[in-house]
Amino acid sequence: MNEVSAQAKREEPRWGLREVVVALLQAVGLFILVSVIAILTISLGFGSGRRADLVASFSATAVFDLGLVVLSARVAARYAQLPMPLLGFRRPDGRSVGYALLGLALVYAILGAYLGVVSATGLNALKPQSTVPSDAFQGPVTVLAAVLILGLAPLCEETFFRGFLFAGLRRSFGVAGAAISSGMLFAVLHFDKGSLIPFTLIGVLLALLYHRTGNLWTNVAVHFLFNLTSFVLAVAGLVLVHG
């Protein structure tokens, strides 16, 4: 057994299906709460204009993302004095960069293959759509979008879906079952029917990557690089269109 796999096995999380289900229910409750607050903030006119609406929406998303980390860390803290290493945040080794680049290449391979099939079959309604509005990449609100897309999303989503959900489900469903179920939940989070299939597959890939390396920083790097590419392309596209 190699060193990475041995380390991952020594620090195998001890939470299971019960804790995962409870955390999922709490996450749903948190999502409803922040959504209601955001909707009320927008509808009651706290601030005016499209920029204020975006700030309210992004702020709610940021609170939700951070809440996912809190939910994960609370469970892990029951089993370890320092919960973050148990969630996968361990010191990267010399192979982390290679695994991150391989993971990123496979993510784009999955997405490219899916788009090719959708285009070839004429199922354009199943093409993934960005859930971030294009005007979020214009003006000062772009900074908030960058913090959310490049900072919070990779860190918080990997912590919850791979470090916590996948690790906990693995005890009940095995590696394959846990990877598929956590991947599906990851895809559902993006609230886009066109993203369900490719993001489920990408979620499975990221779960297997974490299982192989035992280090969540590799996943965070892949997620960050993918989001960074999308962010840069979105900003560049607006610059080209609007000059």
The model carries a pTM of 0.91
pLDDT given at position 120: 94
CA distance 84 to 178: 20
- For residue 136, the 8-state DSSP code is G
Read off the pLDDT of each residue in 27-46 and give the average, rounded to a whole number: 89
CA distance 139 to 142: 6
13 — pLDDT class (breaks 50, 70, 90): confident
242 — pLDDT class (breaks 50, 70, 90): low
Nearest to 220 by CA among 36, 119, 69: 69
Read off the pLDDT of each residue in 118-145 and give the average, rounded to a whole number: 87
48 — pLDDT class (breaks 50, 70, 90): low
List helix spans (H) across the chain.
3-10, 17-43, 49-76, 83-86, 96-121, 141-146, 153-158, 167-188, 196-213, 216-242
DSSP, collapsed to helix, strand or coil, labels residue 28 as helix
User: How many residues can be counted in the chain?
Assistant: 243
- Burial class (CB within 10 angstroms; exposed 0-12, middle 13-18, buried 19+) of 134: exposed
Least confidently predicted of 74-78, 124-128, 146-150: 124-128
Q: What percent of the chain has pLDDT over 90?
A: 70
